[in-house]
């Protein structure tokens, strides 16, 4: 069995796989603040004050279930310029630690969990959210800053949601644009399985309008607000937690609530969200030299037919056409038979992608264990 862990600042999500079959999933939520353990449709309060204690609790639980864990796959948000998943060793741990200032809410708890998982005594694999995007050429990932600043601080476009973009574009040939749309949102231009460009940058703040994040922003706005007396901490909170759909609508970061609202502010928030997405798609069509396939994924991409409809209608100049009934019912292929662009809705599964990477790296030693 393969254990896949997806760690947040106050959560530990797990899934257990045998081959590509999911055996069980669970979550410890609100670590350090009235933590709760969810598993098999059950919910129970637990005493877990930090991530290390969370792993000890999960390990004991697995022992009661007689789960023979043979390897562990970890989602790691930031890996700097690491280009592929890695068997975890001292060098990999150092790389994750060096990237921590760029992902302060994720990399440190991920490091703590990796170290705590040494108690399992099995190989551990780090699957980096940034790795898929490292096939970008310098022209795509380089910011026009002084060279010495770029090199000193490792400033470049890294991109995120890479595990999701990799999963939905797996074995998809040609020119593909993948739209991961959720509370966090990003878009990737992919050619024959390799990332050419992506919307998130040094951090997950750049790019599309998101649930609570600004997306693209004139750097002069930051300087202006600093001169108005806002502190860096206040701007960080504003740009990451109070902006995006929530900030524009003054109502919600949930697209379902905004679609149902009759307030002008909610309508504008949705319009800006779609406009930014369509603009990025247009740019990436130029980068790719055309478009063979458009993929929607993530919570919004998989479920919000009205957003997909407006986006695809904006691409009518390419000959893209929807089949309305398929789109309404969230089927996998939602383009019409005569559409010149294949349009798909694909449910992302980052944990399954991580499990595949574990099998790929460890090979027969793990495959033969189930």
- All structural domains of the chain with their residue ranges: 2-128, 172-345
Model pLDDT, residue 346: 98
Catalytic residue among 129, 216, 254, 262: 129
CA 345, CA 256: separation in Å to the nearest integer? Answer: 18
CA 295, CA 130: separation in Å to the nearest integer? Answer: 19
Residue 185, SS3? strand
Fold of 172-345: Nucleotidyltransferase; domain 5 (3.30.420)
**Domain spanning 2-128 has what CATH number?**
3.30.420.40
Domains 2-128 and 172-345 belong to one CATH topology: yes
Model pLDDT, residue 102: 87
- Inter-residue contact 108 to 196 (CB < 8 Å): no
Model pLDDT, residue 105: 81
In sequence order, the 6+-apart residues with CB closer than 8 A to the CB of 212 are 183, 240, 241, 242, 243, 244, 245, 246, 247, 253
Least confident range from 102-111, 156-165, 291-300, 342-351: namely 102-111
Strand order in the sheet with 342-345: 194-198, 185-191, 175-181, 293-297, 342-345
Model pLDDT, residue 9: 83
Confidence (pTM):
0.92
Handedness of CA 346, 347, 351, 352 (dihedral sign): negative
- Inter-residue contact 129 to 160 (CB < 8 Å): yes
Give the pLDDT confidence of 210-231 residue by residue, as tens digits.
999 999 999 999 999 999 999 9
Beta partners for 86? 126
Position 370 confidence tier, pLDDT thresholds 50, 70, 90 = very low
Position 104 confidence tier, pLDDT thresholds 50, 70, 90 = confident
Is residue 29 annotated as a catalytic residue, yes or no? no
b/e code 292-315 from CB counts within 10 Å (16+ = b)? ebbbbbbbbbbbbbebbebbbebb
What DSSP character marks residue 203? S
CA 136, CA 138: separation in Å to the nearest integer? Answer: 7
Model pLDDT, residue 345: 98
Compute the average pLDDT of residues 75-100: 94
Compute the average pLDDT of residues 252-281: 97
CA 16, CA 282: separation in Å to the nearest integer? Answer: 39
CA-closest candidate to residue 300, choices 332, 345, 341? 345
Compute the average pLDDT of residues 42-59: 93
CA 86, 90, 93 angle in degrees (round to 5)? Answer: 65
Token code pair at residue 269: 């928030």
Helices within the chain (DSSP H only): 51-65, 90-98, 107-116, 138-141, 147-153, 162-168, 219-227, 232-241, 244-249, 255-260, 264-288, 298-303, 305-313, 324-328, 350-362, 364-367
The strand pair at 124-128 and 71-76 is best described as parallel
pLDDT at 317 over 50: yes
Model pLDDT, residue 71: 97
pLDDT at 368 over 60: no
Model pLDDT, residue 154: 92
Compute the average pLDDT of residues 13-34: 93
Compute the average pLDDT of residues 55-66: 93
Compute the average pLDDT of residues 324-334: 97
Compute the average pLDDT of residues 88-101: 94
CA 207, CA 190: separation in Å to the nearest integer? Answer: 16
In sequence order, the 6+-apart residues with CB closer than 8 A to the CB of 149 are 155
Give the chain's mean pLDDT: 95
Q: What percent of the chain has pLDDT over 90?
A: 93
Compute the average pLDDT of residues 299-320: 97
pLDDT at 241 over 50: yes
């Amino acid at each position: 069995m393969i254990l896949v862990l997806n760690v947040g600042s106050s959560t530990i999500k797990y899934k257990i796989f045998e081959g590509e079959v999911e055996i069980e999933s669970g979550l410890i939520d609100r670590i350090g603040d009235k933590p709760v353990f969810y598993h098999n449709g059950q919910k129970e309060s637990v005493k877990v004050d930090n991530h290390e204690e969370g792993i000890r609790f999960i390990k004991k639980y697995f022992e009661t279930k007689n789960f023979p864990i043979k390897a562990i796959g970890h989602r790691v948000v930031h890996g700097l310029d690491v280009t592929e998943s890695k068997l975890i060793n001292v060098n990999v741990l150092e790389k994750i630690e060096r990237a921590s200032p760029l992902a302060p809410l994720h990399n440190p708890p991920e490091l703590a969990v990796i170290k705590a998982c040494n108690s399992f005594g099995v190989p551990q694999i780090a699957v980096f959210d940034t790795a898929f995007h490292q096939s970008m050429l310098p022209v795509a990932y380089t910011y026009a800053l002084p060279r010495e600043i770029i090199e000193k601080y490792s400033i470049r476009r890294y991109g995120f949601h890479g595990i999701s973009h990799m999963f939905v574009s797996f074995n998809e040939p040609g020119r593909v644009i993948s739209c991961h749309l959720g509370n966090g949102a990003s878009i990737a231009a992919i050619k024959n399985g390799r990332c050419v460009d992506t919307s998130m940058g040094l951090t997950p703040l750049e790019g599309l309008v998101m649930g609570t994040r600004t997306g693209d922003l004139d750097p002069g706005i930051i300087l202006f607000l600093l001169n108005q007396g806002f502190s860096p901490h206040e701007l960080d909170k504003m740009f990451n937690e109070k902006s995006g759909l929530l900030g524009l609508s003054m109502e919600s970061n949930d697209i379902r609530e905004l679609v149902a609202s009759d307030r002008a502010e909610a309508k504008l928030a949705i319009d800006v969200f779609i406009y930014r997405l369509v603009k990025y798609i247009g740019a990436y069509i130029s980068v790719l030299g055309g478009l063979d396939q458009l993929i929607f994924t993530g919570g919004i991409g998989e479920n919000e037919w009205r957003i997909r409809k407006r986006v695809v209608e904006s691409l009518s100049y390419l000959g893209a056409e929807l089949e309305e009934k398929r789109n309404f019912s969230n089927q996998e292929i939602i383009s019409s038979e005569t559409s010149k662009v294949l349009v798909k809705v694909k449910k992302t599964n980052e944990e399954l992608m991580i499990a595949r990477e574990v099998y790929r790296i460890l090979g027969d030693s793990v495959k033969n264990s189930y």
